[in-house]
Amino acid sequence: MKPFYLFLMLLWGALAFYTGYVVLHHGLNLFPDFFGDMAEWTWPGQFNLDFAMMLFLSASWTVWRNGFVPGAWALGLVAFFGGAGFLLPYLTYLAWKHDGDTGAVLLGRNIRETTI
């Protein structure tokens, strides 16, 4: 599992570097470009819509995994607006916390003990 943790952190570092470069050269006002591309019905707009849906799924999973408590909703908002910048370190933290138990990472509070 450790190579996977390192891979997640490598991805996060690359994203942080790229994001920093873009913010430095273009500023933080990404919403007009993001929604403007969607309004034009072009391939960049299709990609942005697809990406927004993935952000929604990530946020929904985060809220569900954490049991729909108020803190889970706050974390879901961070997941939606943070994208991979949130999800990569969050998954790394969960994998470390649950000692690589994928079921615990994915299910969180929703784990049910069963016996066969």
Domain boundaries, the chain: 2-108
Cα separation, 101 vs 108, in Å, equals 11
pLDDT of residue 73: 97
**pTM attached to this predicted model:** 0.82
pLDDT of residue 1: 67
Q: What is the dihedral of CA 99, 101, 104, 106, to 10 degrees?
A: 120
pLDDT of residue 113: 52
Cα separation, 77 vs 75, in Å, equals 5
The tens place of each residue's pLDDT in the chain, 116 residues long, gives: 678 888 999 999 999 999 999 999 999 988 898 999 999 999 999 999 999 999 999 999 999 999 999 999 999 999 999 999 999 999 999 988 988 888 888 898 787 654 44
Cα separation, 73 vs 69, in Å, equals 7
Cα separation, 104 vs 96, in Å, equals 11
